[in-house]
Amino acid sequence: MQNQDQHETNLDPQDWEAMRDLGHQMVDDALLYLQQIREKPVWQPISQDTKDFFGQSVPYSPAGEQQAYQDFKDYILSNPMGNIHPRFWGWVMGNGIPYAALAEMLAATVNPNMGGGEQVAVYVERQVIDWCKEMVGFPADSSGILTSGGSMANFIGLAVARNAMAGFDIRAEGLAAAPRRMTVYTSTETHSSNYKAIEQLGLGKKWIRFIPVNERNEVDIQELEKKLQEDKASGYQPVCIIGNAGTTNTGAIDDLKALADICEREGIWFHVDGAFGALVALSDQYKDLVAGMERADSLAFDLHKWMYMPFEVACVLIREFKDHIDTFSVSPDYLSHMPRGLAGGHHAWFGDLGLQLTRGFKALKVWMTLKAYGLDHFRRQIEQDIEHAKYLADRIGEHPNLELLAHVPLNIVCFRYTAPGMDTAELNELNQEVLMRLHERGLAVPSYTRLDGKFALRVSITNHRSTRRDFDFLVEKVVEIAEEVIAEKAEINRIEMSSRD
């Protein structure tokens, strides 16, 4: 038996003391890196050497833990996306919290499968979900689950909406049994994850009614009402209205009270995509912006955006537990619940509340970080981000060559550089070049959008590391680079004219 044991292997360290020393080094290096992040480029182009390194074939022989870690430092740590930097404002991304990163390590250490069962990690996630309900004003007895992000949270909410509103057993009979065509309503500014979900749920993008927006980029309530009545008169079955609590383009928030009233009157499911904007409910100063959200039948929001958690963790809340579990629950023999033991417990398993059965311990970083810092700290951070957006908008308004392109209701600022004599196409080209040079020089990372055909530099502020001097720096560099590009173009034109002469 002893000889047999000698031939058996596992993946625990051969030298626990050496692994402990390496682990301490990893933590020290990671924290020092974050401590000094302001001194580094926000982003930099990936070298060909690095790209070639990642073209190597799978290793069959061991390089060892030390070498693998060195490769991480040489090729990965030195080439971050940039969203951990104080001057990253691209798309809508959080930038992580050092303490939460350590919590992630602990979650991977205990490594539970969060599909369900009678295990303490499940109680942690339930408590985090209960905290989420309290944060956004949802009933204590509503259902919910943590997800990978807002896309999956929207998918789950809309899947429950479809099944609950279908009027027949859609899981058993499929969409082919639908007596009427089901329709969904949302603004033209809604996030693509919503119509991607509708497509994958088999309802068809053609049957999403994209309603125009007003001058503040909020859904036009009158146009929505008009389209809703037209569809009812045509024999269609309206099943869901999707409201936006913070659109991705501009941060616009739909009139959620009005949408809730319509849904209540018409017997339609009310889903709110609150990917980042829902959490403004934490602020006494700004919570009225999302009034009506608490009346939703389902609500999706990310904790890795305006709660700054490491990727990935989001939440979807469903008002009625029965609607939720009826959409996803399955009961094969190998997943049946036991009266006692690890397969016991008196609550629904998370595997019955979404698509995933195998799930990571996302809840721990949220649980530990909220306990460590308290909700008031996050409330203040959110308010600070909104104040930074207003400050940036004011700075843009003060400069004669900068133009604000959208209302700033929340934390997103869209603007461009303008110059006399340039038409829209030339200004679009100019501002796109400004954006790329900001990125390539590692100065700052705004992202971009188009508003009324105008290319906009888009600054989305969900960054707890940003300070006012970062926004002063951004304005300074946008102007500096734009003037540089204009001068280069003028010089090229001069040379071309000289050569023709």
pLDDT tens-digit series, residues 205-251: 999 999 999 999 999 999 999 999 999 999 999 999 999 999 999 99
| Mean pLDDT along residues 120-138 | 97
Residue 293: is its pLDDT beyond 80?
yes
**∠ CA(155), CA(295), CA(409), 5° rounding?**
80
What's the chain's Rg over C-alpha atoms? 26
Region of poorest pLDDT, from 69-78, 247-256, 492-501: 492-501
pLDDT band at 3 (very low <50, low <70, confident <90, very high): low
pLDDT band at 4 (very low <50, low <70, confident <90, very high): low
pLDDT of residue 387: 97
CATH numbers and ranges of domains, the chain = 103-373 (3.40.640.10), 377-500 (3.90.1150.170)
- Compute the distance between CA of residue 305 and CA of residue 191 in angstroms, rounded to an integer: 15
Among 192, 203, 138, 136, residue whose Cα is nearest residue 165: 203
- Compute the distance between CA of residue 145 and CA of residue 347 in angstroms, rounded to an integer: 13
Sheet holding 143-147, edge to edge: 143-147, 314-318, 298-302, 269-273, 237-244, 182-187, 208-211
Region of poorest pLDDT, from 105-109, 255-259, 312-316, 341-345: 341-345
The token duo for 315 is 């939440």
Q: Could you read off the pLDDT of 185-197 as tens digits, one per residue?
A: 999 999 999 999 9
Torsion of CA 201, 202, 204, 210, to 10 degrees: -20
Residue 382: is its pLDDT beyond 60?
yes
Residue 7: is its pLDDT beyond 80?
no
Residue 6: is its pLDDT beyond 80?
no
Q: Could you tell me the end-to-end alpha-carbon distance of the chain, in angstroms, rounded to an integer? A: 94
Mean of all residue pLDDT scores within the chain? 95
| Mean pLDDT along residues 114-138 | 96
Please tell me which residue, 479 or 344, carries the higher pLDDT value: 479
Residue 365: is its pLDDT beyond 70?
yes
pLDDT of residue 334: 76
Does residue 230 contact residue 202 with C-beta atoms inside 8 Å? no
pLDDT of residue 501: 65
Residue 85: is its pLDDT beyond 50?
yes
| Mean pLDDT along residues 430-456 | 97
| Mean pLDDT along residues 364-377 | 98
Residue 50: is its pLDDT beyond 70?
yes
| Mean pLDDT along residues 109-124 | 95
Amino acid at 112: P
pLDDT of residue 498: 79
Among 338, 316, 340, 339, residue whose Cα is nearest residue 328: 316
* The pairing of beta strand 298-302 with beta strand 314-318: antiparallel
Backbone φ and ψ for 70, nearest 5 degrees, come out as -60, -40
pLDDT of residue 1: 46
For 229-234, the CB contacts below 8 A with 24+ separation are: 231/183
pLDDT band at 5 (very low <50, low <70, confident <90, very high): low
Does residue 401 contact residue 418 with C-beta atoms inside 8 Å? yes
Residue 45: is its pLDDT beyond 80?
yes
pLDDT of residue 372: 98
Residue 403: is its pLDDT beyond 50?
yes
pLDDT of residue 500: 73
pLDDT band at 18 (very low <50, low <70, confident <90, very high): very high
Backbone φ and ψ for 165, nearest 5 degrees, come out as -100, -10
